[in-house]
Amino acid sequence: MKLLHIDTSILGQNSVSRQLTQIIVARVREAHPGIEVRYTDLGAEPLEHLSGAHLAAAQGTTPESAIILRDLERSRRALEDFLAADILVVGAPMYNFTISSQLKAWIDRICVAGKTFRYTDSGPQGLAAGKKVIVASSRGGFYGPQSPAAALEHQESYLRGVFGFLGITEVTFVRAEGVNISPDQRQAAISAARAEVAELAA
C-alpha cells in the first residue's frame, strides 16, 4: 500500500496545513503499519508553471533549456507517484480564495488525457478511481454555505471537482477555518481539526 503526502503551503513552520498533513499521515500509518510513504514538498520545491515549452517538450521536441528538461522529469515523477498512490494526503491552504499556485501546478501535471482521464462518447471518464484523498484545508476566514464569503469558496469545491473528474469520489476534508480571525480562533480551529484526525477512519 502506498501513500503520497504533498505539502503546498508557502508559510513554512507557521503553516497550519503542514501541521495537519503531518498528523493525518501519522494516523494513516497507525492504521496501516508498513504503508510506504512518499513525501513531496511543493512549497519548498515548486514545479514550474505549465508552459508551451513544457508541453512541446512533453510531446517530443528537444527541450528548450535545462530548466524544462528538469521540470519534465519532475512532471513525469509527479504523475507516476500519483498513479501509484492508494492514499493521497494533500495540504491545501486557501490563498486568494483558491488553492496555492504550487498545488495548481501539481494538478496541471496529473490531469493528463489518456492517463488519468479520457473523453468518451458519453463524456469525460476519470481513470483514477479507487484512490482515497484526505485534504488538509486551512483558511484565514470562514467560507461555509451560510457565511457571507461563501461565494468566494474556490478551494475545497475546486479540489472535490478535480478529483471527481479524475474518478476519485472518496475525498475527505480535515478543515481548520478562521485561523486569521484571532489567536484563540486559530487555536480552536487547529484543535478541532486535530480531533477530526483522531476520528478518521483511515
Q: How far is the CB of 149 from ligand FMN (least distance, A)?
A: 7
Which lies closer to ligand FMN via its Cβ, residue 6 or residue 16? 16
Q: What count of other Cβ atoms lies within 10 Å of the Cβ of residue 14?
A: 9
Q: What is the C-alpha end-to-end distance of the chain, expressed in Å?
A: 13
* CA angle centred on 108, ends 103 and 114, rounded to 5°: 140
Rounded CA gap, 93 and 61, in Å?
A: 35
Which lies closer to ligand FMN via its Cβ, residue 9 or residue 116? 9
Segment near ligand FMN (CB under 6 A); pick from 8-16, 105-113, 123-131, 160-168: 8-16
Give the distance from CA 95 to its chain's centroid.
Answer: 14
Which lies closer to ligand FMN via its Cβ, residue 125 or residue 180? 180
Residues of span 103-142 touching ligand FMN by CB under 6 A: 138-141
CB 52 within 8 A of CB 64: no
Indicate whether 96 belongs to the interface with ligand FMN (CB under 6 A): yes
Rounded CA gap, 181 and 89, in Å?
A: 26
Which lies closer to ligand FMN via its Cβ, residue 63 or residue 141? 141
Could you tell me which of 27, 46, 33 has the C-alpha nearest to residue 172? 27
Residues of span 162-191 touching ligand FMN by CB under 6 A: 179-180
Segment near ligand FMN (CB under 6 A); pick from 49-57, 90-98, 102-110, 111-119: 90-98
Number of residues that bind ligand FMN (CB under 6 A): 17
Strand 87-93 and strand 2-7: pairing? parallel
Residues in contact with ligand FMN by CB under 6 A are 9, 11, 15-18, 93-97, 138-141, 179-180
